[in-house]
Structure 1
Amino acid sequence: MAVSTPVLGLVVLIYMMIIFYLGWLGYKKTKQTDDYMVAGRKIHPYILAISYGATFISTSAIIGFGGAAGALGMGLLWLAFMNILVGIFIAFVVFGKRTRRLGLKLNAVTFPELLGKRFQSRFIQGFSGALIGIFMPLYAGIVLIGGARFVEATLNIDYDVAVLILTVIVAAYVITGGLIAVMYTDALQGSLMFIGMAFLMVFTYIKLGGISAAHTALTSMSGMVPDSLAGGGHLGWTSMPAFGSPIWWTLVSTLVLGVGIGVLAQPQLAVRFMTVKNDRALNRAVLVGGPFILMMTGVAFTVGALSNVYFFDNLGQISVAVAGGNTDLIMPEYINSAMPDIFVVLFMLALLAAAMSTLSSQFHTMGTAIGHDFYREFLKKGDIGQTINITKIAIALTILASVVLAYILPISIIARATAIFFGLCAAAFLPMYVGALFWKRMTREGAIASLLVGTFASLFWLGFVHASEAVPLGISQALFGVDTVLTGTWTVVDPILVATPLAFIAGIVVSLATKPAPMDHIEKCFEN
């Protein structure tokens, strides 16, 4: 890079000073448990929308899914559509309002507590908290990877050092300031991300000769699809894969549906609905969140695919080849080689913002899930004791687990690991979350059945059937002598399409077969 080190250092220093100031503001406003857990239930709609969007769209979307688009093409734009329709409109208007009201009525401060109190079950709250604490570090780990890969490529520093720098910065304000600090910093970081992605889109089209020329050139490159991808159904970067092919199943079931539906049951996102004071704030937030998500995902997926044109014109290779087969490096390589130096600095801040906003929310969610839901409510049966201190210790431990995973996870993992976590949340939480909000007849036993069936069906499919995970894990091979216990198309069908319907069925059947909850509790939960 041609940008001088002092200039770069000054820009980063100013950015960090602002971040820590916002974290300090959050710390000063955090007076009680509600402040730490749900930001006092009085967050401004703009801050809610940008915080939600910045948490949802992390480096996994920009680096991981942008890189996946570089390999698989613009079919990923269907995920951008799902993100806006399901992740913003349905999430805020349909789920958000009922979640806010129910959380307020039941005095719930976390997503597991909302479910646990609705179904009057400490087991649901404790099991959900443990599930989040155990599996969310996978998601946090790949967000760390995305941010660190870009810092590594931009500043030419060691990847391991980049991981540690990101971790220390985020940990400092999350542990002290709680959710208020997280949402204040998210709002700044989300605004930076929006500006960065707008510039990226404009510079890309200028570099490639305009919108029409860029897309025409990408379409004409369909003959350059590598044999390994063509054999899996890849028909070019501006076409959907062949219907029913392995790549089609990966794109549609794992990436588009896995993330597009799984967003509804993300604990770190659902808790944000409980941070505003009325339904009108949620309606206003949609008007900000929709365009934000469109800019984040639409630009990342489009630019990722178009990077093939740039690399072929300048290096005679497609993006995957330039990145050495690691799709997680496609976006960093493209931005660092194609963009003006000063923009690279700006985009590095935007990527840092994306990583830090999501990580802060993940660390906060993991800490509260372990400290509040599992420790206080499940183990200590509601004894308030040292909840905040235990939560802070839990945040520190989950941060450590996330860092370890960032060091040991394989290449090209970001998009896949994101889909794994989103799919697991959909199978485990979505059926009883829907029941909690919309079906009075769902019982405690039905909710527990859906939670357990969804969790273990998803984990079984990941470990024994879905080839992308089952083969590298080797559990099926060790126990049964085969890579996967099922063969053919089943091995490319994502767990979300199997485990989530099974969980819904279990929840419905068991609820109808068991005694309804007391009417006074149901009336309290569903009164307007």
Structure 2
Amino acid sequence: MIGIIFLVVFLALMTGIGIWGMKKTKTLGDFFLGGRSLGPWVSAVAYGTSYFSAVIFIGFAGTQGWQFGLNALWIALGNAVIGAGAAWLVLARRTRRITQNLDAMTMPEYLQERYGAKHLKPVAASIIFFFLLPYSASVFKGLGHLFEKVFGIPYDLALLIMIAFTGIYLILGGYFAIAITDFIQGIIMFAGAAIMILVLSGQGGGYFEMIRKVAENYAIHVPPANQPSTLTVISLVFMTSFGTWGLPQMTQKFYAIKNEAVIPKAAIVTTVFALMIGFAAYSTGVFAHVFFDLTTVPRTAAGGINYDLIVPTLLTAHLPELLLALIMLLVLSASMSTLSSLVLVSSSSVAIDMNPNRVNVKTGKDNSVAMMRLLSGVFIIISYFISRFQISIIVYLMSLSWGAVSGSFAAPYILSLYSKKVTKAGAYAGLLTGLGVEIALFFILGASRSPLTASIAIVVPFIVVPVVSLFTAPPDKALLDKAFQGV
């Protein structure tokens, strides 16, 4: 009952923010970028909340915590230092300035304008549409199962509730509403994560005593032959940390900042936030080696370990009801912020990047905001059906999504910020190479090697892009002067 009360208050607050945000959303720039007016705290927390979703708290933390033991904590450190702090310091200033110089609002639009490649935008937009939409559906799926377990709400009804309220504040208020709700959700996440780890650590004699016990029990629970290799650990840290540098829903946060003066403070805030959330999530997964043994760890019907149930079962058994309700809001907040960012970027791939008739030729009115609202609603509904009916091809797209999107965009995007020598042909080659390598290796090596597959797909284009650029026509000087003005 406490959890349901918290849930009702939380959803009512999100709806109110959506209505308030609607009053501030007049233009496409307002809807998609919040009018480029967001300060350091809101921008930093929006980045952090988009980084972490229900996936990390439910399946990922339980899986990596049990299989990797204490090595899972390297993921948390990499996410905070590389994926959060370094991303702001390396990418934010140049991204903000060059996208403003080129009047670009989306990743596909930026790449097209930056390289002077008129067909690059629809290609990039198609990749975003086909791979980020299934990813958003996977977040919906995780939330549905969580609500079913904790609140006793049927899976189908839980999905409908999440769709309705995410749709309300996203469709009404756009990115401004997302950023403000992300800030509130971030406060809930930070507080909930801190209290959760304090309570769990206290039950085992303190954090460092828990770590000692994990080290003892891990070798018993996971024999050395079954423990992941160093290469697997490194590739997972790399994929989840550096891989975010190429994800459009993350880099969009840099477009929207008020000015470059907010960047140093935002970098610190994001790093601290990511350290707390990452270490709390993975530490909880790692603590499973203290709270469970081989006879009590959750199992599937076939007898294997049910990794998705490790963290929910642990929290349900060891947290008081009031704190458990707060943790459920933590997971809900993480998921709704990630989901809204994914839907916003996915809908922009059609409304902005694939819509040649944004301005009505008769009235001169820009229809993009209405189109964005409509498509956001449509995409949320599509996400529901993907979550509800697990079509096999969609399941494959979910597994491919991170490597496919980051592999496609990381090299063309990051190199475009620092090099004037990258050519249009080099950008095309990098985009298609990253996508092709991810798809090919995924089916050759199998889904179990997806971190390694994604890491290779991200790295290879950084070699391909410069090599192709050496042998193709140089970029237009006037275009470069415009892009790098003031950089």
Q: Same fold (TM over 0.5)?
A: yes
- Choose which of 81, 91, 96 in structure 2 pairs with 1:85: 81
Provide the residue aligned with 1:484 in structure 2: none
Matches within 5 A, 1:62-461: 62-72=57-67, 73-225=69-221, 230-232=224-226, 234=227, 241-243=228-230, 249=232, 251-253=233-235, 255-312=236-293, 316-318=295-297, 325-376=305-356, 386-409=367-390, 420-461=400-441
Q: Is the 8 A contact 2:131 2:397 kept in 1?
A: no
Distance between the aligned counterparts of 2:451 and 2:214, measured in 1? 29
What is the number of equivalent residue pairs in this alignment? 481
Q: Is the 8 A contact 2:426 2:464 kept in 1?
A: yes
Secondary structure, aligned partner of 1:14: helix
* Runs of 5+ consecutive residues of structure 2 not aligned to the other structure: none
Distance between the aligned counterparts of 1:372 and 1:278, measured in 2? 24
Secondary structure, aligned partner of 1:499: helix
CA 180–242 in structure 1, closer or farther in 2 if over 3 Å, else same: closer
Secondary structure, aligned partner of 1:122: coil
Write out per-residue CA displacement over residues 311-365 of structure 1, whole angstroms, 9 at most, x where no aligned residue.
Answer: 34xx952356799633122211111111001111111111111111111111111
- More RCO (CA 8 Å, sep 6+): 2
Q: Is the 8 A contact 1:71 1:319 kept in 2?
A: no
Provide the residue aligned with 1:482 in structure 2: none
Q: CA deviation at 1:58?
A: 1.2
Secondary structure, aligned partner of 1:495: helix
Write out per-residue CA displacement over residues 470-522 of structure 1, whole angstroms, 9 at most, x where no aligned residue.
Answer: xxxxxxxxxxxxxxxxxxxxx67722343333322332122111221221211
Q: CA deviation at 1:23?
A: 1.3
Superposed structure 1 runs of 4+ greater than 6 Å apart: 321-324, 416-419
Distance between the aligned counterparts of 1:193 and 1:285, measured in 2? 17
Distance between the aligned counterparts of 1:152 and 1:519, measured in 2? 58
Q: Is the 8 A contact 1:86 1:264 kept in 2?
A: no
Distance between the aligned counterparts of 2:238 and 2:286, measured in 1? 20
Distance between the aligned counterparts of 2:324 and 2:296, measured in 1? 22
**Amino acid in the other structure paired with 1:465:** I
Distance between the aligned counterparts of 1:308 and 1:316, measured in 2? 12
Q: CA deviation at 1:410?
A: 10
Provide the residue aligned with 2:478 in structure 1: 520
Which of 341-350 and 115-124 deviates more? 115-124
What TM-score comes out, normalization by structure 2 length?
0.91
Distance between the aligned counterparts of 2:340 and 2:451, measured in 1? 32
CA 145–511 in structure 1, closer or farther in 2 if over 3 Å, else same: same
CA 316–456 in structure 1, closer or farther in 2 if over 3 Å, else same: closer
CA 504–404 in structure 1, closer or farther in 2 if over 3 Å, else same: same
Q: Is the 8 A contact 1:37 1:109 kept in 2?
A: yes
Distance between the aligned counterparts of 1:135 and 1:78, measured in 2? 27
Provide the residue aligned with 1:472 in structure 2: none
CA 106–35 in structure 1, closer or farther in 2 if over 3 Å, else same: same
Q: Percent identity?
A: 27
Q: Is the 8 A contact 1:122 1:377 kept in 2?
A: no
Distance between the aligned counterparts of 1:271 and 1:49, measured in 2? 12
CA 339–410 in structure 1, closer or farther in 2 if over 3 Å, else same: farther
**Amino acid in the other structure paired with 1:197:** A
Q: Is the 8 A contact 2:218 2:289 kept in 1?
A: no
Which of 13-22 and 396-405 deviates more? 396-405
Distance between the aligned counterparts of 1:522 and 1:200, measured in 2? 50
CA 93–508 in structure 1, closer or farther in 2 if over 3 Å, else same: same
Q: Is the 8 A contact 1:92 1:282 kept in 2?
A: yes
**Amino acid in the other structure paired with 2:287:** L
Q: CA deviation at 1:223?
A: 4.5
Q: Are positions 1:10 and 2:2 aligned together?
A: no
CA 492–395 in structure 1, closer or farther in 2 if over 3 Å, else same: closer
What TM-score comes out, normalization by structure 1 length?
0.85
Q: CA deviation at 1:264?
A: 0.3
Distance between the aligned counterparts of 1:45 and 1:417, measured in 2? 34
**Amino acid in the other structure paired with 2:51:** F
Q: Is the 8 A contact 2:4 2:151 kept in 1?
A: no
Q: CA deviation at 1:221?
A: 1.4
Q: Are positions 1:24 and 2:19 aligned together?
A: yes
RMSD: 2.8
Matches within 5 A, 1:498-509: 498-509=456-467
Q: CA deviation at 1:385?
A: 5.5
Which of 384-393 and 303-312 deviates more? 384-393
